[in-house]
Every structure is written in structure tokens, then in C-alpha cells.
């Protein structure tokens, strides 16, 4: 008997948490934010895709013929379960378990934004030829720089429940697109 979608969802959750805590324990340094972003951009989609793939293929081997709805559900449900449990666990850990990690990530996020602003300013300054344009650029740069003052970023928090909800909604779009692909690819033509 093949594993059900809840088993695959729980396996995806376990793998996600292993990656999260692996980065937390071994990558907790000055590049913690960048490392987390790279893993979220490249490793996690591959992990969730593999989970959905194994869920659909094991079911297809068992029943032989599968329709779009079944393939879509077998792909979507494990990703949803694994993603929901992971988001909830990471939210709880960062907000109630280790608030120092949350503060570090928030600080590195603000520093990264400031660095990107400085880089854009320097590039634009080199391109502009007119003195008036440079003065306007300097004025706008100074205005934007004030938003990075310590009193302005002191209460900035990326890890609120609201932000996690927005992020999970965006991830659901990925799950839906991937599940549609799996549903289309693995369905048999004979089943309606």
C-alpha cells in the first residue's frame, strides 16, 4: 500500500525543519539572512517538488490510471501540509523560541536594504551627467537614507503573523502551479 498524502506532507515538513535547523545551527553567522534566502529560493522548491513527485508516482503505481483531479490532489496536499506545518513551526520558533535569531535576521534584512540603496545611488550618480539631476538624486537619497535611522528601524519586524500569512499565500501560488503541472503530466487520457 502506498503512503498517503499526510505521510508525504509530514516527510516534507521533517525535511524542511532539518534544513531550517541545519542552517540555524551551522550557518548562524553574519550571512545568516543571505544563506536563508538562497536556500528558500533554490533548495526548498526542489524539496517540495520531489515530495509532490513521489506522492503522485507512488499513487499512480498503485492504481495504474489516474485523472487530473487525483494527480493534482496528490501533489498539492503534501506540499500544503508540509508548508503549513513548517511555516507555523518556524513562526513559533522565531517569535517565541529564539528571539535573538529573529532580531539578527531583521537587522541583516535592514542592512541588506541599505547596501542595495547605496549601490543603486552610486550607479545612478555615475550615469547622470547634469548637475541638477545629481542634486535631485542626492536629495532623494538623503530622504530615503533617513528611513534607515536607528529609531526608524528599531521596531521593524519581518516575522509578524501577518507577514508569514502573506508569504504563505505567495507559496500557495507555487504549490498550485506545480500541482497543475503534475496533474496535467501524470493523468491518463482515458480518465475524465
- For residue 1, what pLDDT band results from cuts at 50, 70 and 90? very low
pTM for the model stands at 0.76
- What's the pLDDT at 192? 46
pLDDT at 19 over 90: yes
Q: Give dist(CA 23, CA 82) in Å, integer.
A: 18
> Could you read off the pLDDT of 3-12 as tens digits, one per residue?
788 999 999 9
Q: Give dist(CA 140, CA 134) in Å, integer.
A: 10
Q: Which three cell numbers stand for residue 123?
A: 550607479
Q: Which residue is it, cell 539631476? A: 133
Q: Are 78 and 56 in contact (CB under 8 A)?
A: no
Q: Give dist(CA 4, CA 13) in Å, integer.
A: 14
Pick 46 or 113 by higher pLDDT.
Answer: 46
Amino acid at each position: 500500500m502506498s503512503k498517503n498524502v499526510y505521510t508525504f506532507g509530514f516527510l516534507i515538513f521533517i525535511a524542511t525543519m532539518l534544513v531550517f535547523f541545519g542552517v540555524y545551527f551551522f550557518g548562524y553567522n553574519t550571512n545568516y539572512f543571505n544563506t536563508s534566502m538562497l536556500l528558500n529560493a533554490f533548495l526548498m522548491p526542489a524539496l517540495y517538488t520531489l515530495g509532490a513527485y513521489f506522492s503522485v508516482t507512488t499513487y499512480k503505481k498503485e492504481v495504474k490510471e489516474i485523472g487530473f483531479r487525483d494527480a493534482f490532489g496528490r501533489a498539492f496536499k503534501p506540499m500544503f501540509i508540509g508548508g503549513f506545518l513548517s511555516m507555523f513551526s518556524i513562526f513559533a520558533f522565531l517569535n517565541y523560541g529564539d528571539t535573538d535569531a529573529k532580531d539578527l535576521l531583521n537587522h541583516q534584512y535592514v542592512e541588506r536594504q541599505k547596501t542595495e540603496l547605496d549601490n543603486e545611488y552610486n550607479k545612478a550618480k555615475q550615469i547622470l551627467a547634469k548637475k541638477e539631476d545629481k542634486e535631485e538624486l542626492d536629495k532623494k537619497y538623503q530622504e530615503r537614507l533617513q528611513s534607515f535611522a536607528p529609531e526608524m528601524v528599531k521596531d521593524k519586524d519581518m516575522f509578524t503573523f501577518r507577514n508569514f500569512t502573506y508569504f504563505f499565500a505567495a507559496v500557495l501560488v507555487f504549490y498550485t502551479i506545480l500541482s497543475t503541472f503534475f496533474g496535467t503530466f501524470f493523468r491518463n487520457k482515458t480518465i475524465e
